[in-house]
Amino acid sequence: MAEKEFSFSTAFSALCTDLPQRSRDIIASRFGIDAARALTLEAIGKKYGITRERVRQIVQGSIESVCAKKDSAYFRMAEKKMEETLAKNSGIMKEEDFFARMSGGDTKEEAMARFFFLCMPQVMTDENTVMERAAMGKDFDRTFWRTIVESGKTFLTKSGKTVSADTLFSHVFRTIPIDDKRFFDFLSVSREIKRNVFGKWGLLHWSDIAPKGMREKAYLVLREQGEPMYFRDIAEAINRHGLTKGSRVAHPQTVHNELIKDQRCVLVGRGYYALAAWGYRDGTVRDVLEEILRASAVPIRREEILRRVLEKRRVKKSTVMINLNTFFEKVGHDSYTARHS
């Protein structure tokens, strides 16, 4: 059989043909080969009227039977496909990504790949407090993996803010020689270091990486935009970037309600928000005009006033002029000053 025609389904049929039919059925149930999900040992035992321990023995015996056929062409091709896939990803992958790659999106193929994975002594899985459940080669250097991840974590902790991929990699590379692909393959299975939807890297518990509520999501979108946004556009961006989970969506009115209560944000026009960190302050157009004119020792020309106000508020020029003519003193043809009480 040509390698390009290889499938785990074909290999399973070929290597398990000498197993009793009940054993094959139990394997299919245990790995979800012919069903929407895999069954527990207890559920399978009830189905066949045997103990869960007996089910475990049958599964293990079937795995050992396949392992004994390691010189078979089917076994070698299954082994090669797994080893080459891991090698292309620096020897480690999140388990879900690994099996998705093995199966090409076919649920039956994925179930069979999971069965064969247990027959391969060269590959294994690991999961701990700092690593996602991951598939890796038997000789994968977990000590080096930890060294790389800890270096990145230390830098991010000191930085205290999200950084670009280049910034994060450059810092680690200064002290630990590693190529960029291997570096990010390593980070892909880290529980602590993650990339947000805008491509910035940080620690998982940061709101910039995994924003919890609508307020944090809206704030993140607004900050990444870097300029004032209309609340409906913010809601749309939250949905477009997949910041909501499942079928939930960000509703414009909810976003508006959250932003108006957020002291980090400033309403700078009808429905437009900016960040206070950008130099914006709360207040009406009249308040902005008052601040501009009282800070000047001499009258300011109309066009200059308009320019300064429109830098701070998303309003119509006519709105500025109404406030200017109503509450401030015109000097000469087109200049204004604050009225002195």
Domain locations in the chain?
3-120, 142-203, 214-272, 285-337
* Cβ atoms within 10 Å, residue 56: 14
What average pLDDT is seen over the chain? 92
pLDDT in tens, 241-252: 999 987 789 999
Using DSSP, state whether 87 is helix, strand or coil: helix
Q: Which two three-digit tokens encode residue 17? A: 């043909």
Burial pattern 194-211, b for ≥16 Cβ within 10 A else e, equals: bbbbeebbbbeebebbeb
Using CA atoms, how far apart are residues 33 and 332, in angstroms rounded to an integer? 86
pLDDT in tens, 15-41: 989 999 999 999 999 998 877 788 999
pLDDT category, 279, cuts 50, 70, 90? confident
Whether the Cβ atoms of residue 89 and residue 78 lie closer than 8 Å to each other: no
Long-range contacts of 216-224 (CB under 8 A, 24+ apart): 217/243, 217/244, 217/250, 218/250, 218/255, 218/258, 218/259, 218/262, 219/259, 219/262, 219/264, 219/265, 219/275, 220/196, 222/259, 222/265, 222/273, 222/274, 222/275, 223/275, 224/198
pLDDT in tens, 51-102: 999 999 999 999 999 999 999 999 999 999 999 999 999 999 999 999 999 9
pLDDT score of 341 = 56
Q: Which fold has domain 3-120?
A: Arc Repressor Mutant, subunit A (1.10.10)
Using DSSP, state whether 264 is helix, strand or coil: coil
pLDDT score of 4 = 57
Is residue 108 left, alpha or beta, with left meaning phi > 0 and alpha meaning psi from -120 to 50?
alpha
H-helix or E-strand containing 137?
A: strand 134-137
* Cβ atoms within 10 Å, residue 236: 17
Using CA atoms, how far apart are residues 155 and 168, in angstroms rounded to an integer? 8
Residue 265 is which amino acid? C
Using CA atoms, how far apart are residues 278 and 296, in angstroms rounded to an integer? 22
State yes or no: pLDDT of 146 exceeds 80.
Answer: yes
Strand partners, 124: 136
E strand segments, 214-285: 229-230, 265-269, 272-275
